[in-house]
Amino acid sequence: MNPPAKHAALLGRAMNSCIAALCLMLAAATGAAAQEPDRISHADKEPQNWMTFYGNYGAWSYSRLDQINRKTVSELLPAWAFPTGAPTEVIPRWGLEAAPLVMDGILYLQGPQNSVFAVDAATGHPLWNYAYKLPAFNGTRGARGLAMGHGMIYEGTQDNHVIALDAKTGKEVWNSEVESVAECSCNVSSPPLLIKNLVVTGVTGGDRAHRGYLTAFDATTGKLAWRFYTIPAPGEPGSETWKGDTWKLGGGSTWLTGSYDPELNMIYWGIGNASSDFYGEGRPGSNLYTASIVALDADTGKLKWYFQETPHDLYDFDSQPEPVLIDATLNGAKRKLVVHSSKNGFVYVLDRETGQYLSSFPYLDEVNWTKGLDKDGKPIDARVPNGDDNFLFCPGAGGGRSFNHSAYSPRTGLWYTTAFEICATFKPAKMDVKEGDQFMGGTMAEVKNPNIDPHISAFDPLTGKKAWTFPTKYFNLSSLLATAGDLIFGGDLEGNAFALDARTGEKVWSFNTGGRIASPPVAYSVNGREYIAISTGGGSVTETFIPRIWPESVGHLPQPASTLFVFALPEKKK
């Protein structure tokens, strides 16, 4: 063969090889995208990624990475930071509450005004950003994070839409309205939950005249798949717990993200308070399914079981916090359990197949709105707010904790949570409202518990035994992250990202970011290097309570901002 022909043949073979390799890469990428829900089901096999809000479907907020551990954490330093930029509305509201997601070396972050960013997870180098146009009447805050799967990134918006973006380009794929925000005054403030080919989302609105629900959209098309109303209509099971037309405006929001058991194909979701919050004379009865945890068939949204934690709620005691799914041996038998905390100050341990009540314990040091729980987990002699006395309800309407989720470590067997230890007085009042109106049914005044400081605690979830307590200056608004390095990561409102020893509660590391922290830390790795990421800048409505409860904080807390900080151990010299 002459040289030109030989060169042409070699070039042709090389081009064919490149085309074949490219096809294989595209096929692999397509296959990975299609398998992402299955990858989330087996998240423990991919500790380098953080593919769903809590890190896994069981809401553990746990990372199996251990490069950063009790011995090495003192060397932890900022690796890079990513500012999201300022909101562009006339009256900006800053803040960054969102937890990032990470898959295959790319980090995705939801910023203010429902903007979305994709960056290189090792360097912070921007890859693309998506700017969402909010209606002029809406706020400028973002939300608490994203969902991912099928080659797309999903977010809920402040004007009550769910949006799918192409994960490679940031281009909008579909945009579905949940319900008109002009009518319900509700929105999506927490990440959706991707389950197989469904995107499941809750809504806010529990403190308004609104009927709550969960909604599932087809993940590829955005079409409505099913909707579960948290308050039954007349004739449906549970409707007898509502009087007259009160069910139409009865609350029951679903504003925090739930969890999922792939083996049982069941979704677990915490349901919010009844409306009006403090005035209950117009709605006698237990008011199902408010202040409950519900289990739904993931394919249909049909109710499988429920457990109501605060019947006829008069205190704004949402049962919103994340349902934590663990397997354990009880009395010699293996059980599938759900460990669920309520704003009412108690933790409930239930059989997650049947909803059977097994046990409970308080995660606050003081719970006085009830004399305790009976053998079925129901409150004993609950005190009714009447506005005629100055009885200090503990916890108050802010709850034992709020949106800031817990963590569970299978290594230590401990469940880690924040305890606000904030109390309140209530003054109920009757209100006449229309749909979408604020519907508190009175007022409340929250104060610091005069006897107990706010803290972070660790519990054995099966016995309720407290392992340790770490006091905090103000109540802690960050979520918690547990790692296989036996560390608990969090942040505070003075801007300190910190790590606690998971076995003792001792603080072993901190770094001041200069921005309030009210977000969930996450862990991931790229090319064998572990990173801890935490959003800073605040943005939570609950932050506004701080000056009222701690007047000395005025002028001493960081200003609102919006920056993701990412930490790592120093790189080893080659």
Distances (CA, A) of 90 to 115, 126, 138, 215, 301: 17, 26, 11, 32, 40
pLDDT > 80? residue 170: yes
Alpha-carbon span 410 to 116, nearest angstrom: 32
DSSP-assigned beta bridge partners for residue 440? none
Which residue out of 316, 318, 486, 492 is catalytically annotated? 316
Q: Return the minimum-mean-pLDDT range out of 16-25, 145-154, 159-168, 386-395.
A: 16-25
316 is known as an active-site residue? yes
pLDDT > 90? residue 174: yes
Alpha-carbon span 408 to 401, nearest angstrom: 16
User: Position of tokens 């409970």?
Assistant: 360
- For residue range 220-234, what is the model confidence (pLDDT) as tens digits? 999 999 999 999 999
pLDDT for 88: 57
pLDDT for 541: 86
Q: Could you count the other beta carbons within 10 Å of the beta carbon of residue 83?
A: 15
pLDDT for 176: 98
pLDDT for 92: 53
- For residue range 409-442, what is the model confidence (pLDDT) as tens digits? 999 999 999 999 999 999 999 999 888 888 889 9
Of 229, 208, 322, 215, the C-alpha closest to 273 is 208
pLDDT for 136: 64
Mean pLDDT within 293-301: 98
pLDDT > 90? residue 387: no
Mean pLDDT within 486-506: 98
Mean pLDDT within 496-507: 98
Whether the Cβ atoms of residue 290 and residue 277 lie closer than 8 Å to each other: no
pLDDT > 70? residue 145: yes
Q: Return the minimum-mean-pLDDT range out of 144-148, 180-184, 378-382, 398-402.
A: 180-184
Q: What is the mean pLDDT of the chain?
A: 91
Give me the percent of the chain exceeding a pLDDT of 90: 82
pLDDT for 25: 38
Burial class (CB in 10 A: 0-12, 13-18, 19+), 138: middle
Of 491, 562, 490, the C-alpha closest to 81 is 562
Alpha-carbon span 233 to 246, nearest angstrom: 10
Mean pLDDT within 534-548: 91
- For residue range 454-483, what is the model confidence (pLDDT) as tens digits? 999 999 999 999 999 999 999 999 999 999
- For residue range 109-129, what is the model confidence (pLDDT) as tens digits? 999 889 999 999 999 999 999
Whether the Cβ atoms of residue 326 and residue 339 lie closer than 8 Å to each other: yes
pLDDT for 10: 40
Whether the Cβ atoms of residue 181 and residue 187 lie closer than 8 Å to each other: yes
Phi-psi region of 119 (alpha: psi -120 to 50; beta: other; left: phi over 0): beta
Confidence class for position 143, pLDDT limits 50, 70, 90: confident
- For residue range 245-279, what is the model confidence (pLDDT) as tens digits? 999 999 999 999 999 999 999 999 999 999 999 99
Confidence class for position 22, pLDDT limits 50, 70, 90: very low
Mean pLDDT within 69-73: 98
Confidence class for position 161, pLDDT limits 50, 70, 90: very high
pLDDT for 206: 79
Residue at 48: amino acid letter: Q
Mean pLDDT within 534-552: 92
Confidence class for position 6, pLDDT limits 50, 70, 90: very low
Confidence class for position 89, pLDDT limits 50, 70, 90: low
Domains, the chain, in order of start with CATH, read 49-568 (2.140.10.10)
CB neighbour list of residue 62: distance below 8 Å, 6 or more residues apart: 55, 56, 407, 408, 409, 410, 481, 482, 483, 484
